[in-house]
Amino acid sequence: MAVVETRGLTKVFARGQVGAVLGVDLLSREGEFLVLLGPSGSGKTTLLRMIAGLEEPTSGEIRIGGVVVNALSPRERRIAMVFQSYALYPHLTVLGNIVFPLKAQGMPASEREKKAQWASGLLGIGHLLGRKPRELSGGERQRVALARAIVREPSVFLLDEPLSNLDAKLRASAREEIEQFQKKIGTTTIYVTHDQIEAMAMGDRIAVMNHGKVRQIGTPSEVYDDPADTFVATFLGSPPMNLVEIDGAVVGFRPEHLRPAGSAPSGGPSMSLRFRLGHEEYLGSERILYGTLGGGRFEGQKAVARLPSTHGRRLAPDEVAEFEISMRDLKFFDRASGTRSSPVPLS
Amino acid sequence: MSDGRPAGALERVLKRGILLAFSVALAFPFYWMAITSFKRTTDLYNLKNNPFLFSEPPTLEHLRLLLRETLFLRWFANTCFAGLLVAVITLALAMPAAYALARLTGRWGEQLGIAIFLTYLVPPTLLFIPLSRIVANLGLQDSIWAIVVVYPSFTIPFATWLLMGFFKAIPPELEDAAMVDGLTRFQAFVRMVVPISFSGIVTVVIFAFTLVTQEFVYALTFISSAAHQTVGVGVPIYLVRGDVYYWGSLMAACLIASLPIGILYNLFLDRFIAGFTVGSVK
Amino acid sequence: MSPGSPRWLGPVMLLPAIVYVIGLVGVPFVLSFFYALGDVKVGSVGWHFVGLANFRSVLENPTFRHALSNSFVFTISSQILVLVGANVLALTLKDAFRGRRFLRFLILLPWVAPVSIGSIGWKWILDSLYSVINWVLVRLHLVKPLDVPMWLGQPTLAMISVILVHTWHIMPFATVILLAGWTAIPKDIPEAAAVDGAGYFRTLFQITLPMLLPIVNVALLFGIIFTFTDMTVVYILTRGGPYDTTQVLPSLAFFTGILGSDLAEGAAISLFLVPLLAAVAWLMLRTARRAEVT
């Protein structure tokens, strides 16, 4: 069990800036599930690989458990990694895959046997030990990859988008398995994904990355309710936060906070707006309304609202209704830099 | 390197060194052919001279001798003639067969495909004795026609296998659409599939040509007079007076016989490999 | 092929190719058995069954036994050299670099040039008087000027020369196949092995090489066929000499059957290739089946 820390970690590539990491300071907490979230090319995988020792940093320090590991090989860092493709050894059985790291350590056969039983029991794959990877389903392969990772009892777990190769249907249950697994063993885990739903569901904290930098790191509710800049604000949440430009400032509010008058969920002082419906998407449990705002400085701005289906009556297309937003749900951003700024009076 | 980290400087130098050593060893004979072709005979056979250097100025005499006073050009013409015909015959027979196998559903297709591949493993050095009799009975002995008739027996299997892979990669919807529009299956084949498989066809032609040039056993067995020979047999066997080889002209001939094929192969290698892999990946 | 086509279309499209191949491969193959079991000579009429007499006389012939052993020695030695060399070469070619295309052209030459041409080239390089190799050896003071190796004239050296020329000829072919195999290994497998704590050699021997095995099989089996059934290198380099010491099965079959006009005995000799070919074919089918399952 260890804490992962990076100081000024940088990686530049000769072939361009895609995937580069530009000076990241990170400090994980013991036993936490930390998610590195960002679009492709944001540097999240590069960051993970540098922590693993598979990629050499251009500058900066990596510490695991307080020890500087820059010069150490992946094996010496006592980390375990689950790759996007799982990277199971195709010519070895499931058991062979699981004991491989133990063999590499020089562990005697009887101990290996015990550890393998423990790991496979933990993941419920005891009945698959004799099979080869090609005979397994996607979910089973994930469990084997996890078993192989856990069998060495590493101090840090690194996972690189393990769910992205799975069928959409499978993803939810596989996600839950990983969550439960991590809670059970309690090892510090760093998890890379581009899927914000995964990040929100699984992470104790989320580090949102873009263009090689960490824009914000915080708990799911911190990054969702209190975004540090427009990137974080629009990356999290689907549909993304509405961003409206008013007098040189940028005002943001989430679709679920734009409600018909009298029903704003957050209470407190609120702002009234008119909303003309353009078109609507019915998703079963909720409705997404696309339309235009009216009233004061918001006149003519496009916005998206999100209502539970159980709520009130439906609007007809082109109908204009009275909507409201709680003042505390309005977030202000600096127009030039995109960072959060203090509230600006709106009249 | 094996842990994903970029290769260190030492590793890179080692790799380059090994690569260079191999390249030199493998290409050396051709370099040597080139030097020998242009060295004067007196320089060539003077044991005191450094063989790597031109102690006398280079000459085109060997080339002249080769082209003017030997049957080399005749062999070249024979080979091209045979190559062209063999390519045509191969295409004419392999294309329909490959198409039928590619679209034939069920285990039949698989089995036949494998059977075809297996015939490719039966070597000329097993068949050449009975074939020499067959060729004689057909009245084709000592004629380039023996080559034209016999060679397709080993170009067709490989060409069929190669084209099968190409055809399988073409979605059947294409022919389905053509047939809905009123063409018969065969017309759909000729008018839709064949034009698309152009690169496959070119590959087969190149392959047939190079095989004709490279073949030795059948040509040696069936053709007895020098004038009717192909390049592959004529050069090593007939460029000799008694026991003495005309090394200068011989090496010049070797160079001419090797380099064009080499260049062609280098250009088409990726296609060949694609042919191999496309054939095996369904 | 049923949708939209008459049922005879498939077979008709297949037939010409099948007839051709059966005619010129199947029929001679069967004929060679007849010859071997008969007394056919060039120019003879008629055929008489002589049972296994040809095979017996062939087996009793010391030249044949020597040729048989040569076939195995040449094939096994050259394939070992090729496998090691081609793997090393494939590893150096795996990652792209400038000039790779040109080097690849050079490396391919021994395979794409006609084997007869390459062999005659080597004959000049190994010539008893003018060998450039000997010149270098003398210059490096490794041999005395009057005691140069007779590469093609002395039995052991001649065998070594034949093995080396075979190796030289097959190396590019094996390299191309192995290169395809090496590049097919996903990048994250060796990385996973590194994370799992495996060092360079453990990864190589326990992970990468086993994954390469199907491809190595293919290269090896093809190489065995090409070498075992080849007569060209021997014919051109040594004509089987000195004194039949470098004969191999195919070249002996040629000398006996064609030049010696004894078709029956020649056929019998060449039929000894069949068991090996059958074994190789069986092994290839097994490998192919396993590879398809992956």
> Within chain B, how many helices (H) and strands (E) appear?
15, 2
- Name which of C106, C171, C231 is nearest B125 (Cβ-Cβ): C231
In a domain, C113, yes or no: yes
Res B44: pLDDT: 84
In a domain, C154, yes or no: yes
In a domain, C132, yes or no: yes
Chain A hits for C188, Cβ within 8 Å = 83-85, 87
Crossing angle between the packed helical segments C62-93 and C155-184, to the nearest 10 degrees: 40
* pLDDT, tens only, B199-232: 888 888 888 888 888 899 999 999 999 899 999 9
Full set of structural domains in chain B with CATH: 6-59 (no CATH), 64-276 (1.10.3720.10)
* pLDDT, tens only, A78-130: 999 999 999 999 999 999 999 999 999 889 999 999 999 999 998 999 999 99
E strands, chain A, where?
Answer: 4-13, 16-27, 33-37, 59-64, 67-68, 79-82, 156-160, 188-193, 205-210, 213-218, 242-246, 249-253, 259-260, 270-282, 286-294, 302-308, 320-326, 331-334
- Name which of A80, A89, A105 is nearest C189 (Cβ-Cβ): A89
- Low-confidence stretches of chain B (pLDDT beneath 50): 1-4, 278-282
In a domain, C136, yes or no: yes
Which residues sit opposite A321 in a β-bridge? A275
Complex prediction ipTM: 0.86
Place of tokens 């058991």: A95
A105/C contact by beta carbon, under 8 A: yes
**How far apart, in whole angstroms, are the C-alpha atoms of residue C134 and residue C126?**
8
In a domain, C83, yes or no: yes
End-to-end CA distance of chain A: give it in Å, rounded: 53
Using CB atoms within 10 A of its CB, is residue C202 exposed (0-12), middle (13-18) or buried (19+)? middle
Q: In Å, what is the CA distance from C280 to each residue of A158, B103, C220, C224, C272?
A: 46, 29, 10, 8, 14
B244/C contact by beta carbon, under 8 A: no
Q: How far is A230 from chain B (nearest CA, A)?
A: 36
Q: How far is C109 from chain B (nearest CA, A)?
A: 6
Res C1: pLDDT: 47
The tally of domains found in chain C comes to 1
In a domain, C29, yes or no: no
In a domain, C262, yes or no: yes
In a domain, C26, yes or no: no
Instruction: Report which residue type is found at A199.
Output: A
CB within 8 Å of chain A, chain B residues 57-76:
none
Res B272: pLDDT: 63
Beta-carbon separation of B3 and A55 below 8 A: no
Domain that holds residue C121: 55-293
Res C3: pLDDT: 58
- What CATH number has the domain bearing residue C102? 1.10.3720.10
Res B66: pLDDT: 87
- Cβ neighbours for C232, distance < 8 A, ≥ 6 positions apart: B216, B217, C115, C116, C119
B182/A contact by beta carbon, under 8 A: no
- Cβ neighbours for C145, distance < 8 A, ≥ 6 positions apart: C138
Contact A19, A13 (CB under 8 A): yes
Res A289: pLDDT: 93
Beta-carbon separation of C1 and B261 below 8 A: no
Res B3: pLDDT: 44
Contact B192, C64 (CB under 8 A): no
**How far apart, in whole angstroms, are the C-alpha atoms of residue B199 and residue B145?**
28
- Low-confidence stretches of chain A (pLDDT beneath 50): none
* pLDDT, tens only, B25-62: 999 999 999 999 998 888 888 888 888 888 888 888 88
Structural tokens at position C226: 């090409």
Res B280: pLDDT: 44
Res B16: pLDDT: 86
Among candidates B119, B107, B101, which has minimal Cα distance to B166? Answer: B101
Query: How would you label A308-332 residue by residue, b for 16+ Cβ within 10 Å and e otherwise?
Result: eeeeeeebeeeeebebbbbeebbbb
pLDDT along chain C (294 residues), means of 10: 65 85 89 84 74 85 92 95 94 82 88 92 90 88 85 91 95 92 90 91 91 89 92 92 90 90 88 89 78 49
Beta-carbon separation of A89 and C293 below 8 A: no
Q: Which residue of B has its CA nearest to C263?
A: B129
